[in-house]
Amino acid sequence: SQQGDTKNALLWFERMREAGIRPDVISYNLVLQAFQYKADPAGIVVSFGQMADMGLKPNEDSFGLVIRTFAEVGDWAGTTTWAERLEAQGLDI
């Protein structure tokens, strides 16, 4: 994911789930990091939502990746929205 290879990150992630390995926040953050590296706000939001749908609680790193992605593409409204969501969870980066 360091190189932003979202396709392989998602493939690896799906194989994990198929093998019965329940993803945790750290593994989701690796996928989020791939989307952040590619500056893909839509992709990172979908993956963030999937993490929440699984009942996992995003941590500061999760929110930080999303916030940085929006900032990198110059979407200040998105950056602000996600920063507010971070604060609403009682987290700080």
pLDDT-based confidence at 35, cuts 50/70/90? Answer: very high
Q: What is the percentage of the chain residues whose pLDDT exceeds 90?
A: 70
pLDDT tens profile 43-54: 999 999 999 998
Q: Give the residue-averaged pLDDT of 11-21.
A: 87
- Which whole number is the average pLDDT over 59-86? 97
**Does 67 have pLDDT greater than 90?**
yes
pLDDT of residue 13: 79
Cα angle 90, 51, 82 (rounded to 5 degrees) comes to 45
In whole numbers, what is the pLDDT of the chain averaged over residues?
90
Find all residues with CB under 8 Å of 59, minimum gap 6, and list them. 25, 29, 91
